[in-house]
A and B are shown apart, each in its own frame.
Chain A
């Protein structure tokens, strides 16, 4: 049911771990099945200089965490803000329909980490971006929208 790429990222996940003194930390739970993810970011010159994650979840959750961190590493924050769960799922060669919600975890955690970062540095918030839009979704929200 999983693509080879999903299995590959699940088997050898990139960027697993914790960043001490991270510039931003995002922690989100998955309201659908109760899983959890943490993302740590280091920001330099408006780019994601380093990123690490820890995930408690299924194969798809771990693979999307790994892929999402790869996709944002070294990228300007503006790009990260545009990342959707579909981008991550597509990069993995697709996910089974009932596993699409797992990719929310990674995208939401990244945005939560940026929320944390910009809360400390509101002056760096890019034009047109509102801090509240980056806030992690409340626990009971539907996981269906990207």
Chain B
């Protein structure tokens, strides 16, 4: 099978995924025919409410949760904001304290939310360190817990390097001490098990566009009894926890996407991981001075991330783009802030090494031909940029 370079070789599934056609089909009726407001009492409204709650039940089934524990939101970022701020404020109001534990490799949706609570709202936070693979040590979590700790929030899988955290173990520690535990499972959704009881989590964030659903819809699982203040006030939608007319089409889309992902999970993961392993092995074999970032085995099945020494990430991305390959980087030059990725920094990579960050995340549409094409093209790009780099001294 030939590669369609007009379409491009998409290797940025951690950024977003294309919407599965079956998901599009499932959503379509809810804009034009079944367009009722779920709060309306007549038939059209009841039909929308039924679709919305049907979506909620299907999702709850996958999470092993009760449907009443699922709150639909507008994205993963909103879910993280609601979880963290909602629990922190509710806990403080009950006199439980003001201390939050998180990690130093969280997505900004978590990291910046915690930082704001510290800077503007008088909370205190512990940002746990990680090892060279980006892994949090549960013992460090245990040591960081104080009598006034009101929330622990640690991501399930990292978006930049794919490392999977020991969530169930951290959750057990939190449970023993009665501290609410939130996990940002946005990258894990559609790839890893989401049983909230096996994971020992009280709150869990998901975003549909990471598993072939639409952008702009997410959810927050909130275990019964977990204190949570609404962050968006208004009508009584979502059991008073998230006001605003529900996006029925997107809720249905998210449920359909999640169901498809978990029905096809093993098969998809097996295929994607085989391609991913081929990519990692090929890159390490064909390009000298490259290191895999993230954990070698405890990583998302679709994630291949590297640091390529003596070259800069944005320059690699532009070259790959010209070859029709879409990837990403955590290099300082690719960020608006011009500082290297906080994840690579927390993992101990110095700025000049983090400069060469390259992330390729695979999806169910990728083929072996595409991976082989990348493996043909990438070594040339790297040698060309290295030849231009004052830092590179080729081995004599």
A contact set with B: CB distance below 8 Å: 2, 7, 10-11, 13, 16, 27, 32-38, 54-62, 98, 101-102
Contact = CB atoms under 8 A, between A and B. Distances in A.
Interface string B374-396: 00000000000001111110000
Given A33-B333, A54-B388, A55-B390, 20 more contacts: A13-B388, A16-B387, A16-B388, A32-B338, A33-B339, A35-B355, A36-B391, A56-B311, A56-B355, A56-B388, A56-B390, A56-B392, A57-B312, A57-B315, A58-B312, A58-B314, A58-B315, A59-B315, A62-B315, A101-B338
Contacts, number: 62
Nearest to A34: B351
Contacts of B387: 16
Contacts of B389: 54-56
A59 B388 CA distance: 12
B336 interface: yes
Contacts of B311: 56
18 contacts: A2-B318, A10-B318, A32-B338, A34-B332, A35-B333, A35-B355, A36-B390, A37-B390, A38-B390, A55-B388, A55-B390, A56-B390, A56-B391, A57-B315, A57-B333, A58-B334, A98-B336, A101-B338
Given A56-B312, A62-B315, A33 B338 contact: yes
B204 to A, nearest CB: 35
B2 interface: no
A106 to B, nearest CB: 13
A62 B388 contact: yes
A10 B388 CA distance: 11
B338 to A, nearest CB: 4
Nearest to A11: B322
Interface string B304-320: 00000011101100100
A27 B388 contact: no
Interface in B219-240: none
B291 interface: no
Contacts of B12: none
Contacts of B259: none
A105 B388 CA distance: 15
Contacts of A32: 338
A102 B355 CA distance: 15
B322 A35 contact: no
Closest 8 CB pairs of A and B: A58-B333, A33-B332, A58-B314, A54-B390, A56-B389, A38-B390, A33-B338, A59-B318
A102 to B, nearest CB: 8
A32 B351 CA distance: 11
B390 A27 contact: yes
A51 to B, nearest CB: 15
Contacts of A27: 390
B178 to A, nearest CB: 45
B352 interface: yes
B253 to A, nearest CB: 31
Contacts of B314: 58-59
A101 B332 CA distance: 13
Interface in B140-181: none
Q: Most chain-B Cβ atoms within 10 A of its Cβ — which of A33, A38, A59?
A: A33
